[in-house]
């Protein structure tokens, strides 16, 4: 009995200490606005944490990130669309999210909303998402908002990122799609036991971060990506993903547009743009490539951060104006609703 008591004490004391440390770290993170922004998701790979707040300091300039109750870096939006409102849902990656150091109110989505009457723009950007994750997010969450228009963003890295089992930028596992008999087949992400525990615990999450910084072997093991599918098959899967996203929107009565966001310094088309161009030519899909616009503007005034691939505040203003003009000129937005872009 004495030995059993000693064993129980040896187990319970460390567990109690870890529990107290976990509580202390969570309280500090909340009070200091340093809460965890991203957590694992069994379908999407990862998602934003509802209600999280953080002053993010790891990019070009510090910026504040506040996540709403539905997991969006945006103000609260009900699923029910208000009457007399034209609702736009924008899905995308870090360019939509405002990475690099852009405050929420300075993003192109928020500028676009202020530039038109009776228009509501919902920002559903999530850092490091690829085409496959945007499609899943549209299917599982985006269409719940009953949008009149869906803007589906595309970036250079989508061609490879959509077919990697681990995103190399943030080291998180993700799923992917393949084709079977012309139909999309989803392969969900797989998580290690430690990874899942680290997603639920701030203390283990910090331990994971520390190991990644001090151990190259650990970092390499956690970020060992496995690329799947050959290049021609990727082309067909991506075409099917965009086409299926468009079909989902049409079934609900929503317009659908694919918009390409170029990275800093890009002056030639990438493979994902070829996919988009092919869809525009063969399927009549509405597409808008911002590359020429951003390249031209950037020669006279920097539209990107100096040491980051993302748009700066001016770049977001340019993107908002170009997008507004495109929507009006292609009868996707009533000209009577548009005002001078702010």
The reported pLDDT for the residue numbered 287 is: 98
d(CA 92, CA 131): 8
Each residue's pLDDT tens digit, 200-247: 887 777 777 776 767 665 566 556 667 788 889 999 999 999 999 999
Q: Which residues pair with 125 in a beta bridge?
A: 92
Which of 140-149, 244-253, 263-272, 284-293 has the least mean pLDDT?
Answer: 263-272
Note whether 170 and 148 are within 8 A (CB).
no
- Across the chain, mean pLDDT equals 89
Is the per-residue pLDDT at 340 higher than 50?
Answer: no
Whole-prediction pTM = 0.89
């Amino acid at each position: 009995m004495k030995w059993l008591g000693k064993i129980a004490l040896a187990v319970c004391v460390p567990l109690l200490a870890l529990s107290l440390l976990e509580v202390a770290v969570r309280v500090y993170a909340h009070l200091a606005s340093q809460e965890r922004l991203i957590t694992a998701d069994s379908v999407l790979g990862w998602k934003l944490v509802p209600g999280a707040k953080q002053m993010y300091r790891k990019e070009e300039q510090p910026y504040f990130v506040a996540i709403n109750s539905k997991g969006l870096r945006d103000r609260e939006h009900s699923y029910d669309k208000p009457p007399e409102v034209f609702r736009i849902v924008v899905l995308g990656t870090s360019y939509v999210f405002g990475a690099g150091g852009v405050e929420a109110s300075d993003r192109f989505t928020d500028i676009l909303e202020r530039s038109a009457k009776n228009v509501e723009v919902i920002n559903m950007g999530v850092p490091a998402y690829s085409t496959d994750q945007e499609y899943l997010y549209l299917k599982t969450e985006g269409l719940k908002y009953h949008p009149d228009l869906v803007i589906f963003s595309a970036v250079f890295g989508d061609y490879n990122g959509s077919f990697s089992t681990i995103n190399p930028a943030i080291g998180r596992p993700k799923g992917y799609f393949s084709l079977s008999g012309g139909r999309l087949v989803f392969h969900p992400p797989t998580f290690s036991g430690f990874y899942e525990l680290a997603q639920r615990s701030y203390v283990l999450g910090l331990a994971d971060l520390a190991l990644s910084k001090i151990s190259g072997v650990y970092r390499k093991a956690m970020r060992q990506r496995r690329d799947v599918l050959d290049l021609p098959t990727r082309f067909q899967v991506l075409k099917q993903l965009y086409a299926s996203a468009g079909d989902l929107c049409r079934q609900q009565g929503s317009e659908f547009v694919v918009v390409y966001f170029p990275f800093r310094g890009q002056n030639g088309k990438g493979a994902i743009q070829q996919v988009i161009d092919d869809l525009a030519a063969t399927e009549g899909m509405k597409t808008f490539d911002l590359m020429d616009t951003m390249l031209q503007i950037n020669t006279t005034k920097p539209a990107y951060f100096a040491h980051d691939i993302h748009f700066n505040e001016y770049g977001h203003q340019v993107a908002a104006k170009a997008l507004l003009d495109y929507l009006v000129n292609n009868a996707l937005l009533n000209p009577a609703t548009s005002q001078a872009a702010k």
